[in-house]
Amino acid sequence: MNEYYFYGLAALMYLTTCWTFSAVRWFHTCGAPKERHQYIWPDRKLQCLVYLCPTILLPYIINPTSPSAWMLEKSYFPACYYFYCGVLLLCFFGSVKQWNQWKTVSWAATLIVVATMLVPALDAWLPSGILNAQGLRIWNDVILIESIIMMVYSGLAMWQVKHWMDEARDQNYSNPDDFPADYARRVWLAPILFTPLLWPAYIWDSPLWMAIDNVLLAASNILLLLNVMPAWRRKVILSSSEADITECHEEPTDDNKNEQIEQTAMEIEEYVKGQRAYLDCHLKIDDVVAHTHLGRTFVSLTFRRRFSSFANYVNSLRLAHYEQYQSQHPEETKESAALASGFSSYTAYYRAKKKLEDEGLSPNTKKDNYTF
């Protein structure tokens, strides 16, 4: 049996896992997200699209001896995988507002990838092809340049996710769902981890290396699917992110700062409580810093000394608002009440309530401190 049969079989194995991943991600939804026509992660549709893109590799699966199909196959991984990693990192972890800041550069990266891969794709799919031997050599260099550009793009995505991880460590987020820091630590280096699999076949022009890469990438698809899909795993991802939040700044010890802390606390209360900023489910400590016009370190210090922490203070207000909202709107569901009170979901409400109760900070014991 010709070895090219096994090369095509390995490519089919990879493509099958991509289709499976896309199908499961599309059809597998939990009850509450399905009712609201949304999903726990905002990148679900984008992820499905990304995992359908390898369909363009069908010519190589059908005829792995074709030079045009081989050009498409070996080019696809370095040309596209860095882009996929970058855009999914930015979308997944920039799910609040930051993703909008990266849409322009991501669209530019998309156009570069499409323009680069369109030529070898047409050459492989069209019966007569569009490139001669010289054209294949030229486009090989084009793929190399585009792949380096996408490496830079994925590097920017890694840098941005690392920045968000640093923010999460000093309680920048009032809703832990906004940034699952623990999961970010597991996957933010994905472009680097994939690099040994993406380049050998391209550099050495080796179908054998490509077959090995296809099998390993198929295994990675299965592992990723098992890691992100079950509801209990998502719960672990989110809850561990909350548990890992810690403060990083050293507290100033100058007693003369006490008066300034009191003044800062009044400004914080006027903004977060008085202006009901806590109803913004994506409220961050950066928003409070921007309002008070004080340094981030000093605002964090004020939250620790006067309010236990930023997240605890905001969620205490939300919990009190939730109880009052439910008493005034008994016909509303618990999910609706949670959303109206500044929580990103009822699950976020429940976890915030349990956390505050465990720390003895439940607003049930001090309702008089919260008026609306």
pLDDT tens digits along 49-99 = 999 999 999 999 999 999 999 999 999 999 999 999 998 888 777 654 455
- Tell me the domain boundaries of the chain: 3-243, 252-369
For residues 278 and 309, the answer to whether their CB atoms sit within 8 Å is: no
Cα–Cα distance list, 263 to 103, 241, 288, 299, 306 (Å): 39, 32, 14, 11, 11
d(CA 194, CA 3): 26
For residue 262, how many C-alpha atoms fall within 13 Å in the half-sphere facing its CB? 4
pTM for this prediction = 0.67
pLDDT in tens, 153-176: 999 999 988 887 776 654 566 665
Q: What region does 345 belong to: left with phi over 0, alpha with psi -120 to 50, or beta?
A: beta
For residues 317 and 370, the answer to whether their CB atoms sit within 8 Å is: yes
In the predicted structure, residue 102 carries a pLDDT above the cut 80: no
State the pLDDT at residue 112: 96
Burial class (CB in 10 A: 0-12, 13-18, 19+), 216: middle
User: End-to-end alpha-carbon separation of the chain, Å?
Assistant: 77
pLDDT in tens, 123-148: 999 998 898 989 989 999 999 999 99
Type of residue at 71: M
Contact partners, residue 319, CB within 8 Å, separation at least 6? 341, 349, 352, 353, 356, 362, 363
In residues, how long is the chain?
372
pLDDT in tens, 335-356: 888 889 888 778 788 878 887 8
Enter the CATH code of domain 252-369. 1.10.10
CB atoms within 10 A of CB 78: 23
